[in-house]
Amino acid sequence: MDEVFFKSALPAQGALVLDDTSLALPAEPTQRSSTELGSDKRSSRVYQQVQLTLARKARKSMSNGNISYGHREAYGSRSPISTDNHAKCHNSVRLCVCVQFSLHLIILMCSHIVLMCVRSILSHVVFFFFCLFFFFLNLWTTSSHRKSENKPEEMTLEKAVNLLTQDNEDTLIFATTHIQNLCLNSTDAKKMVFDLHGIEKLVQLLCSDSEEVQCVAAGALRNVVCQSGKNKMEVKKNDGLAVILGTLKSSHDVETRRQLTGLLWNLSSHDLLKEGLIKEGLPILTQSVLVPCSGLSEGENPKDELLADADVFHFTTGCLRNLSSAGPDGRKAMRECKNLIDSLVYYIRGTIADHKTDDKSTENCVCILHNLSYQFEAEIPKKYTQDRSQSQQNLAPKPKTVGCFAHRTHYPVPSQVLERQSSLLEDKANPCGIEWLWSPITLRMYLSLIACSVRQYTQEAAIGALQNITAGNGAMSEAIAFTLVQQEKNLQHIKYILQEGEGDVKRTALSLIKNLSRYNELQPEIVNQVLPDVVGMLPNDDTGTDLPAEVTASLCHILINLSQANSQNVKAIVKERALLKIINISNKDNGCGPSRAGQAACILLHTIWKHTDLHKDFKKLGYRKTDFINARTNKAVKSR
């Protein structure tokens, strides 16, 4: 399997560590008390100056009252000022001056008081907000310090790996999460973890008593090994497979099980790990995941039902999908694993009943069954094929003595042949284990997937499984072919795939039709239902860009099977205007002789010409013998 099936753990959100230099420190506060003190001094100086001015003027006023003016002529007055009148005037002036300066002093003092009150209020408001700012600043820095006091100020991959040997659980979780995040998309980070012997430390953390540590360690390993064969082998070297499977078996935490099964999925893509995973992991994966998640044991063990999780099942079936391609020994072990096939079939039938055939896990399950059905007739235990061969012999009609008139001798009719073949596929109500691979229940399940699912890989796997179980030459494959065509009436579903399916799905469907067309008794159904679509897919020559050469060759082989024993089939092929296409395909080569498709077309033309009763019809259509029999067709037949 390709790496396309790999899953990586999403990065966990790491803490943001800020050092002291990240904080913008506030400016130092100004001394507001000195400002207030300066204002008081200025007010005192003003007050003193006013007092001095008043005193000076008072002294001046007193000295003026003791001076004698003499006789002086006043402006506009002819008579001199008398002494008594002068004294009265002097007292009035002094009183006015005192009143004037008193008013000035009162106004000045009031202004000063108002100014001081305003300044005091403003200073107190500013001071309050300034203190509030410093209070919250101190609270924030203290909180940040408490959050980061147990974590490294600066974390690097090397430091994180070194911290994996610590005993503090928070430190282990932080370091492991850091590794997981760095290795998500970085090949260099994965290589550095290998060089620092981090894989060995991560494997050891899977044995931790803390489920949270187990979970993050599995997630980190999941990313470290993704698309890195070297790291996957390092896990095996440190006995990681046994540790992972043991932790999965004992863990009851859903998130931990998700990470562990995702890790196993990534590991299963490495060919050198498949054998070990099959040997050690099949029983654990089946009993710990498949059985509870598929619902096979529903109601039997309520505790197991608590372990059911869609993601865990999806990852596990992805792992088994890879393992099912390991080879004959791997397929044999998986077929014989108790409850493995049963769980897969049970789950698929459940999704069909719930109309959820496009589920990703359903695709994985069908692909596993597809792989397990490969060469199944040659690889399944002999007792199954021997039992059915014996059953076929017992149910075969006894031959009758041929009389003088050979044309009146009794021969089996198609319905009798159907009875003989269908009896080999016993419709058991409760198949078990490997018996599901050829059960009529499973055949109907595949047909339902072909009809209902829109996922390309699900359709391709379902048709591929039918192709595999009809590909053999024994009694089992023959019985399955008859059951499909004449009992299950599946050709309508195949016809739809030929008309609407994707390229790879069509290719697989043609291979299935090729297997079915080998049996003469099934050919009338094939001709009636799918022959027009088969001929319609033929390109005008073997260089057609619509279909690969191997698909064109498959189309020709289907027509060869249909043409070998029945002239009516050949007439139907000619009626569909296939001859010109076949001749054009046979005339093309790849420079070194006819291509695979060209060779198949040459054999088909040679086969068609064998029906001598149709030669006149060919001539009426304008074809000559050399169109069918020539050096190219003869060479192709000899090299067959």
- pLDDT, position 156: 94
Between 52-66, 80-94, 263-277, 487-501, the lowest mean confidence (pLDDT) is in 80-94
- Is 255 contained in some domain? yes
The SS3 of residue 356 is coil
Give the residue-averaged pLDDT of 271-277. 96
Give the residue-averaged pLDDT of 449-473. 95
Predicted confidence band at 430 (pLDDT cuts at 50, 70, 90)?
confident
DSSP conformational letter for 564: S
- pLDDT, position 298: 80
- Is 31 contained in some domain? no
- Going through 161-313 in order, the beta strands assigned E by DSSP cover none
- Is 335 contained in some domain? no
- Is 620 contained in some domain? no
Whether the pLDDT of residue 124 is over 80: the answer is: no
Tokens of 528: 């009636």
Tokens of 446: 């595949």
**Tally of structural domains, the chain:** 1
Which of 193, 260, 214, 268 shows the shortest CA–CA distance to 236? 268
Whether the pLDDT of residue 85 is over 70: the answer is: no
- pLDDT, position 513: 97
Higher pLDDT, 115 or 497: 497
The residue type at 570: V
Higher pLDDT, 68 or 316: 316
Tokens of 580: 């010109």
Please list the helix, strand and coil fractions of the chain in percent, rounded to the nearest 5, in that order.
70, 0, 30
Predicted confidence band at 142 (pLDDT cuts at 50, 70, 90)?
low
- pLDDT, position 132: 63
How many alpha carbons lie under 13 Å from residue 290 in its C-beta half-sphere? 29
pLDDT tens-digit series, residues 207-221: 999 999 999 999 999
Give the residue-averaged pLDDT of 613-617. 94
- pLDDT, position 130: 55
Give the residue-averaged pLDDT of 430-455. 94
Give the residue-averaged pLDDT of 563-585. 94
Residues 6+ apart with CB under 8 A from 233: 270, 272, 273
Q: What whole-number distance in Å separates Cα of residue 222 and Cα of residue 315?
A: 12
- Is 418 contained in some domain? no
Predicted confidence band at 302 (pLDDT cuts at 50, 70, 90)?
confident
- pLDDT, position 388: 53
Q: What whole-number distance in Å separates Cα of residue 574 and Cα of residue 431?
A: 45
The residue type at 172: L
Between 24-33, 270-279, 530-539, the lowest mean confidence (pLDDT) is in 24-33
The residue type at 3: E
- Is 292 contained in some domain? yes
Tokens of 437: 């691979």
Between 44-53, 100-109, 312-321, the lowest mean confidence (pLDDT) is in 44-53
| Cβ neighbours, 10 Å, residue 208 | 16
- Is 350 contained in some domain? no
Torsion sign over Cα 190, 195, 201, 204:
positive
Higher pLDDT, 490 or 381: 381
Residues 6+ apart with CB under 8 A from 26: 133, 134, 137
Range of the domain at 210: 157-326
Higher pLDDT, 484 or 85: 484
Whether the pLDDT of residue 283 is over 80: the answer is: yes
Which of 556, 621, 607, 618 shows the shortest CA–CA distance to 584? 556
Whether the pLDDT of residue 226 is over 80: the answer is: yes
Whether the pLDDT of residue 387 is over 80: the answer is: no
- pLDDT, position 565: 86
- Is 227 contained in some domain? yes
Whether the pLDDT of residue 402 is over 50: the answer is: no
CATH number, domain at 181? 1.25.10.10
Predicted confidence band at 300 (pLDDT cuts at 50, 70, 90)?
confident
How many alpha carbons lie under 13 Å from residue 271 in its C-beta half-sphere? 4
Q: What percent of the chain has pLDDT over 90?
A: 57
The residue type at 282: L
- pLDDT, position 540: 79
Q: Are 376 and 469 in contact (CB under 8 A)?
A: yes
Which of 306, 214, 313 shows the shortest CA–CA distance to 262? 313
Between 9-13, 281-285, 555-559, 590-594, the lowest mean confidence (pLDDT) is in 9-13
pLDDT tens-digit series, residues 29-68: 333 333 343 445 445 544 555 455 555 545 444 444 443 3
Tokens of 248: 């999965």
Give the residue-averaged pLDDT of 541-569. 86
Q: What whole-number distance in Å separates Cα of residue 450 and Cα of residue 456?
A: 10
- pLDDT, position 547: 74
Tell me which range, 53-57, 167-171, 392-396, is most confidently predicted by mean pLDDT: 167-171
Predicted confidence band at 408 (pLDDT cuts at 50, 70, 90)?
very low
- pLDDT, position 487: 80
pLDDT tens-digit series, residues 318-374: 999 999 999 999 999 999 999 999 999 999 999 999 999 999 999 999 999 999 999
